[in-house]
Structure formats: C-alpha cells, structure tokens
Amino acid sequence: MTETTERDVFAQAVIDGLSAPHKSLPCRYFYDARGSELFEAITEAPEYYPTRTELGLLQAQAQDIAARSPRGAVLVEFGSGSSRKTEVLLAAMKNLAAYVPIDVSGDALDEAAARLAKRFPNLRVLPVTGDFSAPLDLPRDLADAPRIGFFPGSTIGNFAPDAARELLAGLRAQLAGGSLIIGVDLRKELSVLLPAYNDAAGVTADFNLNLLVRINRELDGTFDLRGFRHEAVWNAPDSRIEMHLVSRRAQEASAAGRTFRFAEGERIHTENSCKYDLDAFARLAGQAGWRVSRVWTDPNDWFSLQQLDAA
C-alpha cells in the first residue's frame, strides 16, 4: 500500500479546490515558513486590531483568568504559533502542572519551547506537532489532571458555523470536562474591519499571494503572481470578512499535474473571518455542549475573551 504524504494531501486539496465551480483553497496552507513570518508581520500592522486588542485584554484579565483556574491544571493551547500571548497567562498561572502547545509548525514550537524554558524554568512545556482538531493524548502522568484549553486569536472565526460547532465539540471532548478560554472577534464598523484585512503596506496581500508561491514551489505550479490580486470584502449575510485572490486576466495555470483556467475577475476564495455578537456566539457554543461562564471585552467592544465551561 502506498503511503499518503503531506504533499499528496496538499495536492489533492489544491486540485479539488481549483476544480470546483467556485474556486477555493484551504486557509491552513497559508502557514509555510514564509507565510508564518508574514502573518506575524500582519499582527504588527497598525490597521490590524485583533492581536493588540486581545493582548491588552489578556494583560488586563490574566489574574482573573488564573484565579478561576484549578490548581495543578494543564494548559492546552490549540494553534499556539509563537506562544507570545500565552506568556501573559503563564506568568499569572503559577500552579500549572504543564503547558501543552499544539501547532502544525514544528519549528515554531521548538523556538517557543526554548524561549519559555528560559522564562519559566519550573514549568513543564510539552509541545505537540500536529492538527489541533485531531484527538490528543496527554502524557500518562497528566491524563487525570484538570485541563484548561486556550484558543486565542479569533481562529474560530476562520471556520464556517457548522465547522466551528464541530470543532468546539471536538475541543470539549479533548478537554475532558475542563474549560476553554477562547478569543472571539466581535462585529464592528466596516471602517475598522476592512482596513484590518487590507493594510496599506500590503502585507496581507503578500500573505494571501504567498499561497500561490507555495503551490509553485511544492506542487510544480506555474502561477504568475502578477496575474492575481488580493481582495478582502465584507459578506454581511454571513457576518464575515472574505479573502480572495482575483484573476487580473483570462489565464491558465498548472499545479500537481493539472491545468486550471481562470476568467478575468474570477476569484479563488482563500479565507473567512467570521465576526460574532455575544448572543450569536453563546448560541453556537451551546450547540457544541458549552456554556459561556465569563466574558471579557475591551473598552471599544471590538474583541472578547470568553470562558466556556462544559454544559
């Protein structure tokens, strides 16, 4: 039996997405090494409010979050990346048994673990490389410890409602009765929302186009980057920002041994970022077996941190 490789999975995702009547590519493939660098740069753009707003919330509320956490718990972070925001929580959570960061990037995990070991020498840091939506087994000596999930960055917004509900239910199972601290971006004025995904320096555009760079490199692609432009728009009925790559002209491009045709103006849908009001998210969480026990918001009500407990 031939083993399926990561390249095979990537290739099939590209073939399926670009062969569909409405072309799309999974946003998880943004994050090669260059994509991760570009995303870090996006978080520092003056227009991109989510990261700095969430960080401010964590700094203001870390002690309250820590006070609500059981002694000897394991903090499990889903999609940890650089773990920089998590440092604020770790500094407040003095009685953790361990920190388990989960991420698809082994390099990011290694770098974060090395940095955290220096700052928190008495904390067990047990990185797990992989898809955070997959079932997770903690080390045997931690299997019975209380679990606290941490899912910051409004990553939940990248999932359509049905997928978000399924993911939240899966996280509930992984946390085995524990709680979840989750970042949820809130609905707000388009004058704030749209520039966050169309920064003046063009970093988000580079991030979006880097998906084609990755296809060219890993799947023998022939995409001409000059033939596509970045576009981010607000979809009001679905309450989400959508990112697209728009073909500037009628053209063809190949990848993974297949050829794809694009009409002028045709879009490749690359990412969603759903925005919620508090009631809508509480209903979604409830459908996944959670109840919202605490909500923290910034002074502008742009962003929220929420504690979910198993219902």
pLDDT one-digit tens code per residue, 148-198: 999 998 999 999 999 999 999 999 999 988 999 999 999 999 999 999 999
Distance CA 276, CA 185 (A): 6
* pLDDT for residue 137: 75
Distance CA 4, CA 1 (A): 9
Distance CA 267, CA 245 (A): 6
Distance CA 204, CA 216 (A): 19
Tokens standing for residue 200:
């003046």
* pLDDT for residue 273: 97
DSSP state of 24: B
pLDDT at 1 over 60: no
Chain position carrying tokens 């979604």 = 284
Residue 199: band (very low, low, confident or very high) from pLDDT cuts 50, 70, 90: very high
State which amino acid sits at residue 301: D
Tokens standing for residue 168:
């939240």
pLDDT at 210 over 90: yes
pLDDT one-digit tens code per residue, 93-141: 999 999 999 887 777 888 888 899 899 999 999 988 888 887 877 778 8
Burial classification of residue 286, based on how many CB atoms lie within 10 Å of its CB (0-12 exposed, 13-18 middle, 19 or more buried): middle
* pLDDT for residue 155: 93
Is residue 148 within 8 A of residue 176, CB to CB? The reply is no
Domains of the chain: 49-188+276-310 (3.40.50.150)
Least confident piece of the model among 19-33, 96-110, 229-243? 96-110
